[in-house]
Chains A and B, each alone.
Chain A
Amino acid sequence: MSHRFSVEITKQLPEFTLDVAWSAGDGVAVLFGPSGAGKTLTLQCLAGLIRPDAGRIVVDDRVLFDSAAGVDLPPQQRRVGYVFQGYALFPHLTVGQNVAFGLRDRPRAERLSRAAEVMERLGLGGLTHRRTGELSGGQRQRVALGRALAIDPALLLLDEPLSALDAPLRRSLRDELRTILSGWGTAAVLVTHDFTEAYQIADRIVIYESGRVIQSAPRAELLWQPASEAVARIMGLRNVLHGTVVKAMPDRIQISWRGLMLEAVNSPTRSYMPPPESPIAFFIRPEYVRLIRKDRGAPDAAHHMNLMRGRIVGESDFGMVWSLRLRLDAPGAPAQGDFDLEVEVPRLVYEILEIERDRHWEFSIHRGSIHVLPT
């Protein structure tokens, strides 16, 4: 069965206003953004635990909330599963009783078989009679999932389901969670403030900032085409820079930046045509800046577009990768404090080229690696 749901709500709190509208279909929609952006508040509105001031929430053609029509289903009638951040397992009940908690209205035999089936699928089979306090973090998460999934929810909500776990476990459980969610076929909304986690689990990512949605897109689109500088910053993209438009064409765009003329690819599907002289934001991924080897002859313009020269003024060792802070040989203030560009090179390259000793380099950036951010 194919799922479709839409959220359109406003909620005024003393120091905060939530005003969001987005929709999603099958798979996992991840609400991503900084803490306090309204992600959890949205989940609580979806579950009926908080009443929005106005708006409409529709899940698979079922209206859960519609302020204009006076519809506001209580949480008990929404059939929306909720996995809380701390899992909220009932400590006075066993694992089996927790999983079966939402099945009270069903006949006893059916209740037991459904709970057993859910626990079997989640690998909780042997834990039926355990108290929740005796479980590991990963098991607690699966019990919370099982309890929410047992009621066969129309929509499953997960509030930072991995944040209560240690980092190594968290990484391995991301894949597990994604497998479970896709295996179950339930439409899900997951909240996180970790972009890697968001990207790994999501089909669609909805970006929240200060109570608003600033982009909602399939994850791949988001990765390569953030809709604005605000989105780029929230995603934690580095080298978000500001220049001036020289000339915009449907297929490429020329930008003046730090006395250089940069050429960037314009989006073929979403051409951005700002007038000359207007300010423009763009970003360059540090791992896509190419260091030009000095032992391979002089660089030629055909293979090395967007050529620039600079000095390394700072560096950080991330183990397998070195992050270099490059200051261009150009007059004027550097773009990012005391440097212009952050560049990442693999450790091997760092060692072979003896970057530790040799600090002056030429760099080049392919025009496809300069991403224009519409304003």
Chain B
Amino acid sequence: MSADALVALGLSIRVAFFATLLNALLGIPLAYILARRAFRGRALVDLLVTLPLVLPPTVTGYYLIVLLGRRGWLGAPVYAWTGWSVAFTWYAAVIAATVMALPLLVRTARAAIESVDRELEKAAYTLGRSEWRTALEVTLPLAKNGIIAGLVLAFARALGEFGATLMLAGNIPGKTATVPLAIYTAVQTGEMGEAVVLVLTLTILSCIVLMVAGRLGARAA
């Protein structure tokens, strides 16, 4: 494997790891709230989280540029104050992967949380536990396998992210060119040997991840 390929692989794993971490921090509370709380706008939140699953990744990436780009709704004020933009940094790759992977985690974790018997939560309330403590001590531990399966899926999805990453982070070798982007570049420039190595690496990695997810899913069910 070439040095460039190794750099791409290292970057991919780093991006996928942080995207999965962000997924856990955002997605698990979101899944809990969607599963257990009735509030106005729940359908809208659900829709927004799920949309990247069905939209072409380039469209999701475009929205991310509109939001976070140098002239974006959030990006412009940040750039005005600090002279820094997240676009075309490896953070952007993390953000793109996070958004693309979030629906997988939220949907899997939500289903797992919804399958926890509500009477167990009610029992915890009558035994003095707050809703917060009950979620930590009863609901989430019982939904654990589903949540872990969701995180594994999110990791796999983040690892393979291409379209949205290209839009927001670009394809800068050594900086934002993750394995899928490096494969694209290799094919475009005719370096088929490099492409094959990266393709096989990503395939094997994804297979392992899916097998782990399948195990956990079977145990959750």
Chain B residues within 8 Å of A75, by CB: 122, 125-126
Chain B residues within 8 Å of A147, by CB: 123, 127
Q: Would B141 and A92 count as touching, CB distance under 8 A?
A: yes
Q: Would B129 and A88 count as touching, CB distance under 8 A?
A: no
Q: Would B124 and A81 count as touching, CB distance under 8 A?
A: no
Chain B residues within 8 Å of A105, by CB: 128
Complex Cα distance, B130 from A75, in Å, reads 9
Complex Cα distance, B122 from A84, in Å, reads 9
Asked if A57 is at the interface (CB within 8 A of a chain B CB), the reply is no
Chain A residues within 8 Å of B45, by CB: none
Of B117, B122, B128, B142, which contacts A102 at CB under 8 A?
B128
Interface string of B120-140 (1 = CB under 8 A from A): 101111111110000000100
User: Which residues of chain B (15-71) have a CB below 8 Å from chain A?
Assistant: none
Complex Cα distance, B129 from A101, in Å, reads 9
Chain A residues within 8 Å of B122, by CB: 44, 47, 49, 75, 82, 84, 88
Known: A84-B122, A92-B141, A92-B142. A76 touches B117 (CB 8 A): no
B117, B127, B130, B138 interface centre (most CB from chain A within 10 Å)? B127
Complex Cα distance, B119 from A147, in Å, reads 14
Interface size class of A (residues with CB under 8 A): 20 to 34
DSSP majority for the B interface?
A: helix
Complex Cα distance, B127 from A86, in Å, reads 17
Complex Cα distance, B125 from A102, in Å, reads 9
A-B contact list, 30 entries, CB within 8 Å:
A47-B122, A47-B126, A48-B126, A49-B122, A49-B125, A74-B125, A75-B125, A76-B125, A76-B126, A76-B128, A76-B129, A81-B126, A82-B122, A82-B126, A84-B119, A84-B122, A84-B123, A86-B119, A88-B117, A88-B119, A88-B120, A88-B122, A90-B120, A90-B138, A92-B141, A101-B124, A102-B126, A104-B128, A104-B129, A105-B128
Q: Would B128 and A151 count as touching, CB distance under 8 A?
A: yes
Query: Smallest CB–CB gap between B145 and chain A, Å?
Result: 11
Chain A residues within 8 Å of B124, by CB: 90, 101
For B141, give the chain A residue with the smallest CB separation. A92
Chain A residues within 8 Å of B138, by CB: 90
Chain A residues within 8 Å of B130, by CB: 76
Query: Smallest CB–CB gap between A147 and chain B, Å?
Result: 7
Q: Would B126 and A91 count as touching, CB distance under 8 A?
A: no
Q: Would A102 and B120 count as touching, CB distance under 8 A?
A: no
Which 3 pairs of residues, A with B, have the shortest CB-CB distance? A102-B127, A88-B119, A75-B125
Chain A residues within 8 Å of B120, by CB: 88, 90
Interface string of A40-53 (1 = CB under 8 A from B): 00001001110000
Q: Would A91 and B128 count as touching, CB distance under 8 A?
A: no
A48, A76, A148 interface centre (most CB from chain B within 10 Å)? A76
Complex Cα distance, B97 from A248, in Å, reads 87
Query: Smallest CB–CB gap between B60 and chain A, Å?
Result: 37
